[in-house]
Chain A
Amino acid sequence: MNIKEFDMGEIDIAWCPGCGNFGILNTLKKALSEMDIEPTNLVLVSGIGQAAKIPHYFKTNIFNGLHGRALPAATAIKAANPALTVIAESGDGDMYGEGGNHFIHTIRRNPNIANIVHNNMVYGLTKGQASPTSQLGFKTQVQINGVFLEPFNPIAVAIALDASFVARAFAGDMDKTKEILKKAITHKGYALVDIFQPCVSFNKINTFQWFKEHTYYLRDSHQVTDRNKAFKKAIETEKLPLGIFYTNTDKTTFEENIGTYKKDKRPLYEREVNIEKLQDLLEKFKTLI
């Protein structure tokens, strides 16, 4: 499919020149067009923040909801119509901070959605405060003595919860990121892709160069089904691994578990109230069986 199908044409984009978000936007468009996913069949769900504006630069169905709440909405959208491709995409503050509880429980629920997180280790839209993933010692106008909260490790948390797909990518390497995104979208079940993304305006520490120097790709020999090894990789800090850490393809999805589609594949909007069964229900209030 032609990538232009996703283009919004001449629009005003609210990102800073040189922002890592541009690369992620284009890479995601490329991945989706190569996968022939029709814009009408795709829903991009986001929260609030600079990364969360991404749906507005995408010609597709969009649900730009509340800060931190993309995952519950995305879960329900997929559950109401499993034929849709659903991607929940936002920044680190949105997904791991404001929406941290949903991050945990969405992994447990395992809907068949992809969860893309632009992780720039800083708050952009509110102008430079620490994010849950900001590194120790990172100084901001609020964290004046430097961050002393343990940085949130989304990869380790996801693997600890036995998330069905856990990967990390780097916005500076679009080819490999594209391949990871394609695998995440194709994967059946919840798929996390945490993407390191430099913030050129508010994070002068974790720059393109810094990420280049402090990351490496997991080798082909890395066993993605070995949860212990994946966890070991996830807690490495000296150099941060990139690639697919872990997959568990044995898990049933939320849409499968709810049972609504076992016998009837139709999405909810095509269904009607079963009046006959409703009569039976009232009959039970009469006979009190």
Chain B
Amino acid sequence: MTNTDDISIVLCGQAGQGIQTIEYVLTRVLKLAGFNVFATKEYMSRIRGGTNSTEIRVSSKPVRSVVNRIDVLIPLDKDALQHVQKRISPETIILSEAENFDVISEQGGCVCIEVPFTKIATDIGDKIYSNIVAVGVVAGFLGVDLQLVNDYIRKYFSGKSDDVVSKNLEAAKAGHKLGCDLTDSGKIKIGVKPNANVKDQILLSGAEAVASGAIAGGCNFISSYPMSPSTAVLVFLSQHAKEFNIIAEQAEDEIAAINMAIGAWYAGARAMVTTSGGGFALMVEGLSLSAMLESPVVIHLGQRPGPATGLPTRTEQSDLELALYAGHGEFPRIILAPGTLEEAFSLTGKAFGLADKYQVPVFVLTDQYFLDSYYNTARFDLSDIKAEKHIVRTEKEYRRFELTADGISPRGIPAFGQGLVCVDSDEHDEHGHITEDLDLRVKMVDKRLKKGNALVKDSIPPQLVGPKNYRKLIICWGSTYNIVDEAVKNLERDDIAFLHFNQVHPLPKETENFLNRAERTIIVENNATGQFAKQVKLHTGIDIDKKVLKYNGLSFTVEELVEKLKAFLD
């Protein structure tokens, strides 16, 4: 282990072996014990078998990004070792069943410690308990009080029989003792210290942050079709539908989902859809409908690698251009791309206000890495929460598409006031009725596009992190924020800063100025073609000097980004 106060623990095994349970229970136990914690998973697109892994970072300081190194590896079967082979170094401590040692010896260099997870579990009653033995071992060597582990296990298995609960407690206890022995004997040295602040903080995933933000934004209608990695948002809102009076409907397809969302907004709801690239492709005509009806709509687009089915459970930032250019006809839109959990919460909430105010589609663009990652963070500020509503009570002669100076017509809804609310997917007059008056057509196109000017004015400026008098500037957007942040800190240089965009369209007006001040620019994107770099070029005329791109289905890790940035900086 190179750094004893910032440990990367990787648990790896087959789907169905309980890796997700380990991640879930451990991250919560560690957070409750006051440790800074980060977790992310990578998994195969299957229910059983395959090899999945989860990385849990535990640190004395806040940790929010994935690293390549493994300090402690817990492989739950032989395949697991092969799966993470490239990440094993002489510094890696492997806690494993003895039967895996022959595979491990081929790795060379690492430190192997026998921990009979399966035997302990089988002695308790079933090998199924081995995942909780692993939880106990980790909690033990990190010095977490067994009582805290027990309390959480009771909570976690509260719906199960007494037998299941007591056997899991036994498993945790046995694992915990082994874990304590590992540090007592000096086999593992731990320097990670709990931090009092962490207890007051919250721990949640990107998907939970997006979904909670939607609630804060007044979302009361979600219609979607399940698709990885976006489903967790639908699940979360369904589970909280009762307490927040949300209509959560699983639609027959994505086409129905977006048409429902638009219908719901028409009648006064605040609706969203959550989907991924392939599902969004089916929504494209609906997106265009929202533009023509000038209906607000919020689209959470959780990206994964394409084309077509691509890598269903992996990550990529390759649907920016899809979101940007989707929909026939010409119309304005907003694309937000949160970089932190706090931003996922605040921007998703804001998306509803923006959609309502400007009567445009608003995207929240995330990806699998972002949605499936957890960390502890300061509790979100609710003092600014006001779900802005922009609907008007209609008068008798109400015209839904009244031509106004800024292109925004007051939005009425049926049965609220004396007017009639008419909307049409055909080109229409101010009343909302079909027209083929071509002069009026021009006025209506201009009206819709005019809203785009206001969107630019109201755009969220990018965030500069680092010295203001930077010479070299790294540009990134969306989910890469924390990875770039940690990589840049590791570089320890006073001439570089990074600029993160959480609004990628319309491109914030400050962009050009930031870029012009740099001697050299480099962009970091989790895609193959540098989609955001193309946008920067299009809107500022500036060619970014170097692109660091990754598109193997995984996010960047801190170490690889440090290496790639170094090569550029020297």
Question: Per-residue CB proximity of A255-289 to B under 8 Å, as 1/0?
Answer: 00011100010011111111101110110011011
- At the interface, yes or no: A73 with Cβ under 8 Å from chain B? yes
Whether B260 contacts A269 by the Cβ 8 Å rule is no
- At the interface, yes or no: A218 with Cβ under 8 Å from chain B? no
Whether A77 contacts B202 by the Cβ 8 Å rule is no
- At the interface, yes or no: B249 with Cβ under 8 Å from chain A? yes
- B413's closest neighbor in chain A, by CB? A269
Whether A66 contacts B286 by the Cβ 8 Å rule is yes
Given A281-B240, A286-B379, do A72 and B414 touch, yes or no (CB 8 Å)? no
Whether B267 contacts A62 by the Cβ 8 Å rule is no
B residues less than 8 Å from A48 (CB atoms): 425
Whether A39 contacts B420 by the Cβ 8 Å rule is yes
Question: Per-residue CB proximity of A64-100 to B under 8 Å, as 1/0?
Answer: 1110010111111111110110000000000000000
B residues less than 8 Å from A102 (CB atoms): 252, 255-256
- At the interface, yes or no: B220 with Cβ under 8 Å from chain A? yes
Whether B243 contacts A60 by the Cβ 8 Å rule is no
Given A69-B255, A258-B247, A281-B240, do A77 and B267 touch, yes or no (CB 8 Å)? yes
A residues less than 8 Å from B247 (CB atoms): 79-80, 258, 260, 268
- B248's closest neighbor in chain A, by CB? A258
Q: Which of B47-55, B210-218, B532-540, B562-570 lies at the interface?
A: B210-218
A residues less than 8 Å from B216 (CB atoms): 273, 278
Whether B252 contacts A104 by the Cβ 8 Å rule is yes
Given A268-B268, A285-B204, do A40 and B253 touch, yes or no (CB 8 Å)? no
Give the contacting residue for B289; candidates A65, A84, A275; CB below 8 A: A65
- At the interface, yes or no: A105 with Cβ under 8 Å from chain B? yes
Whether B263 contacts A61 by the Cβ 8 Å rule is no
B residues less than 8 Å from A39 (CB atoms): 420
Q: Bound state CA distance, A174 and B181, in angstroms?
A: 88
Q: Bound state CA distance, A258 and B285, in angstroms?
A: 27
Q: Bound state CA distance, A64 and B427, in angstroms?
A: 11
Whether A73 contacts B253 by the Cβ 8 Å rule is no
Given A65-B289, A66-B259, A76-B223, do A278 and B215 touch, yes or no (CB 8 Å)? yes
Question: Per-residue CB proximity of B214-256 to A under 8 Å, as 1/0?
Answer: 0111101101000000000000000011111111010111011
Whether A259 contacts B242 by the Cβ 8 Å rule is yes
- A108's closest neighbor in chain B, by CB? B252
Of residues 448 through 485 on chain B, the ones whose CB sits less than 8 Å from some CB of chain A are none
Question: Per-residue CB proximity of A18-50 to B under 8 Å, as 1/0?
Answer: 000000000000000000000111010100100
- At the interface, yes or no: B32 with Cβ under 8 Å from chain A? yes
Whether B269 contacts A268 by the Cβ 8 Å rule is yes
- At the interface, yes or no: A53 with Cβ under 8 Å from chain B? yes
Q: Bound state CA distance, A65 and B287, in angstroms?
A: 12
- At the interface, yes or no: B31 with Cβ under 8 Å from chain A? yes
Whether A61 contacts B414 by the Cβ 8 Å rule is yes
Given A62-B432, A267-B267, A267-B268, do A76 and B420 touch, yes or no (CB 8 Å)? no
Interface size class of B (residues with CB under 8 A): 35 or more
Q: Is the interface of B mostly helix, strand, loop or mixed?
A: mixed
- At the interface, yes or no: A211 with Cβ under 8 Å from chain B? no
B residues less than 8 Å from A55 (CB atoms): 422
Q: Bound state CA distance, A278 and B245, in angstroms?
A: 12
B residues less than 8 Å from A72 (CB atoms): 223, 251, 255-257, 259-260, 263
Q: Bound state CA distance, A63 and B294, in angstroms?
A: 12
Give the one of A56, A264, A269 with max B CB within 10 A.
Answer: A269
Q: Bound state CA distance, A259 and B240, in angstroms?
A: 12
Whether A64 contacts B423 by the Cβ 8 Å rule is yes
Q: Bound state CA distance, A74 and B243, in angstroms?
A: 25
- At the interface, yes or no: A59 with Cβ under 8 Å from chain B? yes
B residues less than 8 Å from A109 (CB atoms): 249
Q: Is the interface of A mostly helix, strand, loop or mixed?
A: helix
Least CB distance, B457 to chain A, in whole angstroms:
27
Give the one of A40, A41, A80 with max B CB within 10 A.
Answer: A80
Whether A76 contacts B263 by the Cβ 8 Å rule is yes
Whether B420 contacts A60 by the Cβ 8 Å rule is yes
Give the one of A45, A59, A63, A109 with max B CB within 10 A.
Answer: A63
Q: Bound state CA distance, A43 and B414, in angstroms?
A: 8
- At the interface, yes or no: B272 with Cβ under 8 Å from chain A? no
Whether A285 contacts B262 by the Cβ 8 Å rule is no
- A279's closest neighbor in chain B, by CB? B382
B residues less than 8 Å from A45 (CB atoms): 263
Give the contacting residue for A61; candidates B245, B289, B385, B421; CB below 8 A: B421
A residues less than 8 Å from B259 (CB atoms): 65-66, 69, 72-73, 76
Given A60-B420, A76-B271, A268-B268, do A277 and B220 touch, yes or no (CB 8 Å)? no
Given A259-B242, A273-B216, A278-B215, do A84 and B414 touch, yes or no (CB 8 Å)? yes
Q: Bound state CA distance, A250 and B360, in angstroms?
A: 41
Whether A74 contacts B32 by the Cβ 8 Å rule is no
Give the contacting residue for A268; candidates B32, B220, B262, B423; CB below 8 A: B220
- At the interface, yes or no: B391 with Cβ under 8 Å from chain A? yes
A residues less than 8 Å from B202 (CB atoms): 282, 285-286
B residues less than 8 Å from A56 (CB atoms): 424, 433-434
Q: Bound state CA distance, A9 and B240, in angstroms?
A: 48
Whether A73 contacts B260 by the Cβ 8 Å rule is yes
A residues less than 8 Å from B203 (CB atoms): 285-286, 288
Give the contacting residue for A74; candidates B152, B244, B263, B419; CB below 8 A: B263
Give the contacting residue for A273; candidates B218, B241, B379; CB below 8 A: B218
Whether A73 contacts B415 by the Cβ 8 Å rule is no
Whether B243 contacts A277 by the Cβ 8 Å rule is yes
A residues less than 8 Å from B255 (CB atoms): 69, 72, 101-102
Give the contacting residue for A278; candidates B221, B270, B382; CB below 8 A: B382
Least CB distance, A268 to chain B, in whole angstroms:
4
B residues less than 8 Å from A258 (CB atoms): 241, 247, 249
- B391's closest neighbor in chain A, by CB? A269
Least CB distance, B558 to chain A, in whole angstroms:
25
Whether A62 contacts B422 by the Cβ 8 Å rule is yes
Least CB distance, A57 to chain B, in whole angstroms:
9
Closest 5 CB pairs of A and B: A269-B268, A73-B263, A76-B263, A285-B202, A80-B267
What are 16 A-to-B residue pairs whose CB atoms are below 8 Å? A40-B414, A64-B424, A66-B285, A72-B255, A73-B260, A73-B266, A75-B260, A76-B263, A77-B264, A267-B415, A268-B221, A271-B245, A273-B218, A277-B243, A278-B244, A286-B379
With A75-B260, A269-B267 known, 14 other A-B pairs at CB within 8 A are A62-B433, A65-B259, A66-B286, A76-B261, A76-B262, A76-B266, A79-B221, A260-B247, A264-B245, A267-B267, A268-B221, A281-B243, A282-B212, A282-B379
A-to-B contact residues, CB < 8 Å: 39-41, 43, 45, 48, 53, 55-56, 59-66, 69, 71-81, 83-84, 101-102, 104-105, 109, 258-260, 264, 267-275, 277-279, 281-282, 285-286, 288-289
